[in-house]
Structure 1
Amino acid sequence: MKKLFFAAVLSLGSLTAFAQAEEAQADATDVVAVAQDDFTEIEVSTLPEAVSGAVAQNYPTATINKAYVNEAKQYKLEVSLEDGTSGTLYADENGNWIEM
């Protein structure tokens, strides 16, 4: 009987933990989606020197095609490389790379 009770408690505990982890993951996804939607396009020429310098130093063949900023002064940069590949980079106002 003790083993049956122990198994039931263990099962209930693991289900609760799984549900909480799923809820936390959903909340984190929502936050990132909101942050990404809050970017406003700006002129590339108005980027802080630290941001454009970070691109030049880390991606010397990159061209910044479009730039966006949000209220937290995080920058979203659409860049393309000489070889034709393109991507999106995120940086803070000090030129530090961030993951979004």
Structure 2
Amino acid sequence: MKKLILSAAIVLGSFATYASSVPNNNEIVKTINLQEEYTEVKMEEVPEAISKALKTAYPDAILDKAYINDKKEYKLDITLGDKKGNLFADENGKWITK
């Protein structure tokens, strides 16, 4: 009789562990990186408006490379003193914040 009661307790106890639900806290996070495609252009192909805007805003800046995308936005790699950086402008010489 003791074995029967002990067996029943074990069986009922094992059902209790399977009946409990485990909360699912897995969150799915999607990260999408949008990278614009720029193609390098020759220094002679940079519009005069951009060159003038660069000389007005940063007189000591040296234009190293220039790139253009499909929206006619220019990415300018410049050197200012011992620092290098990027500027973005449209074809009319207006600065774009990115």
Q: TM-score, normalised by structure 2?
A: 0.65
Residue 95 of structure 1 is matched in structure 2 by 93
**Higher Rg of the two aligned structures:** 2
Which has more helix, going by share of residues? 1
Residue 48 (structure 1) shift: 0.5
Q: Secondary structure at the match of 2:92?
A: coil
Cα distance per residue 1:77-100 (max 9 Å; x no partner): 00001x211100000001011022
CA RMSD of aligned residues (A): 1.7
Q: TM-score, normalised by structure 1?
A: 0.64
Residue 45 (structure 1) shift: 1.5
Query: Structure 1 residue aligned with 2:83, among 57, 81, 85?
Result: 85
Aligned length, in residue pairs: 71
Distance 2:51 2:70 in 1: 19
Aligned residues with identical type, % of pairs: 40
Cα distance per residue 1:35-94 (max 9 Å; x no partner): 2xx10000112100111111000000001000000110000000001x211100000001
Residue 42 of structure 2 is matched in structure 1 by 43
Residue 16 of structure 2 is matched in structure 1 by none
- Gaps of at least 5 residues in structure 2 are 1-28
Cα distance per residue 1:2-36 (max 9 Å; x no partner): xxxxxxxxxxxxxxxxxxxx87xx56xx34x2x2x
Q: For 1:1-100, list aligned pairs within 5 A.
A: 30-31=33-34, 33=35, 35=36, 38-81=37-80, 83-100=81-98
What code does the residue aligned with 1:61 have?
A: D
